[in-house]
Structure 1
Amino acid sequence: MRCACTIADGADVPQVSVIIPAFDAEATIDATLASATAQSVRDIEIVVVADGCTDATVARVERWTRTDPRVRLIEQANAGVAVARNTGIAAATGAFVAPLDADDLWHPRKLEWQLERFGDPGVGLVYGWYRPIDEQARVCATAATPAIEGRVLHRHLHWNFVGNGSTPLIRRAALDGIAYDPALRAARAGGCEDYLLQLQVARRWRFGCVPAYLTGYRQRAGAMSGDRGTMMRSHVAALRTIRPSLPPSARRVCDAGIARFALLSASAALGRRQVAPAAAALAQALRHDVAATGAALTEQVATIRRARASRGAAAATPGARFDDLQAGDPPSTWTPSATLAALARLDAED
C-alpha cells in the first residue's frame, strides 16, 4: 500500500472526510474530484483509494494532490470496493465520513446542508435525494424522493430508500464497531455493501433527510449496479448477513425482503436461461416467506405486462446536465405507502 500524502502532526483535523474508492476510473475521476473540491464546506479532506488501478486513474489523482492539499491518494492491490472504503476510513481523520463513488457527482452545497441536520446528537446518518445520470452527466431518469427520518430500521429493511452509496453523510461515531463487508464480494454477491452498512447504522442511530437532489448517481454500461442478477443476489446476501442481529419484528421484515429479492434473482436467472440457479433462488424465497414470494410473483407479472405494453414507445430525450439543475426542483410529491406507514409505527416503538 502506498500513500501519496499524509497529514502532519498538529495539523487541523478536517470536519468531513470524503472517501473515494476508485478502480480504473480515469474517465470520471476528474469530474468527481472537481465535484468534491467545489463543496461549500471547505474544511474537508478527500481520500482517494486506488484499488489496483491499471489505467491512468492514479496519474490523474496525483495531479489533484499537487494542486489541492486536501486531496490524498492511497494505492492498494485490488481488493474490492468494501476493502477500499474501509482503507480510506481507517486513514481518515474527520468527524464525519462522506462516501463518494469515483463516477458520481455532488451538488456544491451537499455537505453543508447535510451537516446542518446533525444538530440532533442521536442522528448518525443524513441522506438526500439523487438524480440518475448518464455517462455525459445528463439526468436520464427520475428517482423517488422519500423523506423518511428518525428510527428507520424496519422501513430501510423493506426498501433501500437511501438508494446509493454516494448519498449519505455519516457521523464517524456511528461507524464504531462496523465496516463495509468484503464477504459479499467474496461470495460473488457484491453491490450492496453500502446498503448493509446503512442497515447496521440504522440499528443504533436515527436518520435525517435533506429534501433536495444532492447526488448525481452515474448509470454506466457494465457498472456493478447495472447487473440486475448480481444486485438481487447482493440484496439477499446483505439481508441474510444482518438478520441474526435483528429483533423479531425486524426479522419478519427481513425475511419478506429475502423472499422478494430471491424471487427477482430467480427471474433474472431464468432470463439468462440458467434453470438450476433459478430453481435454487425460488426455493430460497419460499423458505423465507411464502406469502411474500406470492406477492412478489404477482408484482413481477404486472411489471412484465407493463413492459410489453410500452414496447415501441419513443425513447426519452436526454435531460439537462446534473450541474445545471436546482437542488430543490422539482419538489417532492412522494407519499408513503400503507406498508411504510405500518412499518413507521414499528420503528417508533424501536
Structure 2
Amino acid sequence: MDADDLWHPDKIKKQMVVMQDRGDQVGLVYCWSRAIDEQDRVLWDVTPCNLRGSVYAALIIRNFLSSGAPLVRKCCAAAVGGYDATLASRGAPCCEDLKFNLDIAERCDFDLVPEFLFSYRVRAGSMSTNIDAMLRSRKVVIEEARARHPELPNKLFRWATAHQDREFGLAHLSDGRFLTGARLLLTALREDPFATLRVSTIRAFARLPVSSGFGALVRARRHGGAGNTVVNRNFFEVDPTILCGRPRAPWNRKRLAHAAALFVERRADVPSGADHHSPEDVGADIRQI
C-alpha cells in the first residue's frame, strides 16, 4: 500500500466482524477497491469480485485483491513467512503481493466485505513502462504455482496468461504504445481467442468518439446505474456500497467462479485457534504501529 492510498474509516472494523464470525477457517478478508485522483476524487471501480472460500485457482487467473485491500490473520502471515524476499533475485521483483496472496490461499479460505473500502491513487504516467519485467515476474510466480499443483488443468494457465497479456496490451494501446500492445494482444489471441476478441471489441467500441452510436451504447451499458453519484466525488463522501457502473467483462467473473470450484491440495501449517485478538487489542496494535 503506497503512502498516499486511502482506507475507509470503517475498513478494519467491518473486516474484523467477518473474520470473527467465520472463525479459524478464514485467514484473509478482503474488500473492493476504487481508483482516485490526486484530489481524492473517485475515477473508477476496480472490477469487483465476490469470491469466497477456496480461491487459489482463481488467483492464478487474476490477482483480484488490490494490495491494500486484505486483512490477514497474524498466524497465517507468519506461516507463509510474509512477503517473499527472494523473488527479486529470482527475476520476479514485481509480484510479491500475488505470491503472498497465493501462499495464504493455499492454506486458508478467503472472505469478503462487499464494499469499496480501499482506494489507490492514480497519477498521469503512473503505469509501469517496464512491461517485460512485470510479465516476467508474474510468469515466475505462476510457474511455481503450476509446479506445486499439477492437479490444476492446463486451460487454467492458458486463461491466466491470456488475461494478463490482454489487460496489459489494451492498456498500452490506449496509452499509444502500439507495438507493445499489439504484441501482447496477439499472444492473448493465441492462448484464448474467444475472450480476447470479445473483450477487445467491447473496449474498442467504448473508446469511439462521443458522436458514435456504438460508442455511446457501449459506454451506457458499462457505466449504467448509480455511477453518476460516485464518479468525481470525494472517496470518503460516497456510499462504499454503490458501484461506479456495471463491472467490466462479466464473463471473466464466470471463469473465476469456475476456477474457484477446482480442487486444490491444501497445506496444513497454520495453527488452528492461534493468535486471536479482541478488537481492542487490534486497535492498540494499530495505534502502536
Instruction: Give the TM-score of the pair, scaled to structure 2.
Output: 0.66
- Equivalent in the alignment of 2:50: 147
- Equivalent in the alignment of 1:18: none
Q: Alpha-carbon deviation of 1:340?
A: 3.2
Quick one: which of 68, 72, 78 aligns to 1:166?
A: 68
- Checking the alignment, whether the CA contact within 8 Å between 2:57 and 2:264 is kept in structure 1 is no
- Equivalent in the alignment of 2:254: 338
Instruction: Describe the superposition over 1:285-333 as per-residue Cα deviations: whole angstroms up to 9, x where unpaired.
Output: 79xxx5x34235424641553254246789x996111111233335997
Q: Alpha-carbon deviation of 1:207?
A: 0.1
Instruction: Describe the superposition over 1:155-211 as per-residue Cα deviations: whole angstroms up to 9, x where unpaired.
Output: 22223222x100011112212134323555557754432122101211111001011
Distance 1:107 1:308, change over 3 A: closer
CA distance in 1, matches of 2:13, 2:60: 28
RMSD of the alignment, in Å?
4.1
Aligned pairs for 1:232-271 (under 5 A) are 232-249=135-152, 252-262=155-165
- Equivalent in the alignment of 2:14: 113
- Equivalent in the alignment of 1:195: 98
CA distance in 1, matches of 2:194, 2:45: 25
- Checking the alignment, whether the CA contact within 8 Å between 2:188 and 2:196 is kept in structure 1 is no
- Checking the alignment, whether the CA contact within 8 Å between 1:211 and 1:328 is kept in structure 2 is yes
Q: Provide the identity percentage.
A: 31
Q: Alpha-carbon deviation of 1:152?
A: 1.0
Q: Which moved more, 1:319-328 or 1:183-192?
A: 183-192
Distance 1:149 1:263, change over 3 A: closer
- Checking the alignment, whether the CA contact within 8 Å between 1:232 and 1:264 is kept in structure 2 is no
- One-letter amino acid of the counterpart of residue 173, structure 1: C
CA distance in 2, matches of 1:201, 1:269: 31
CA distance in 1, matches of 2:187, 2:42: 37
Q: Could you list the runs of 5+ residues in structure 2 that have no partner in the other structure?
A: 217-227, 267-289
CA distance in 2, matches of 1:269, 1:333: 23
SS at match of 1:346: coil
Distance 1:161 1:268, change over 3 A: closer
- One-letter amino acid of the counterpart of residue 169, structure 1: L
Distance 1:239 1:105, change over 3 A: same
Q: Which moved more, 1:130-139 or 1:304-313?
A: 304-313
Instruction: Describe the superposition over 1:233-261 as per-residue Cα deviations: whole angstroms up to 9, x where unpaired.
Output: 54434323432222422654134312442
- Equivalent in the alignment of 2:232: 319
Aligned pairs for 1:1-350 (under 5 A) are 100-119=1-20, 120-162=23-65, 164-175=66-77, 176-182=79-85, 185=88, 190-223=93-126, 231-249=134-152, 252-262=155-165, 272=177, 290=190, 292-299=191-198, 301-303=200-202, 305-310=204-209, 319-330=232-243, 337-347=253-263
Q: Which has the larger radius of gyration?
A: 1
CA distance in 1, matches of 2:128, 2:115: 23
SS at match of 2:152: helix
- Checking the alignment, whether the CA contact within 8 Å between 1:135 and 1:218 is kept in structure 2 is yes
Distance 1:248 1:347, change over 3 A: closer
- One-letter amino acid of the counterpart of residue 254, structure 2: A
CA distance in 2, matches of 1:331, 1:348: 34
Instruction: Describe the superposition over 1:20-47 as per-residue Cα deviations: whole angstroms up to 9, x where unpaired.
Output: xxxxxxxxxxxxxxxxxxxxxxxxxxxx
Instruction: Give the TM-score of the pair, scaled to structure 1.
Output: 0.56
SS at match of 1:253: helix
- Equivalent in the alignment of 1:36: none
Distance 1:198 1:179, change over 3 A: same
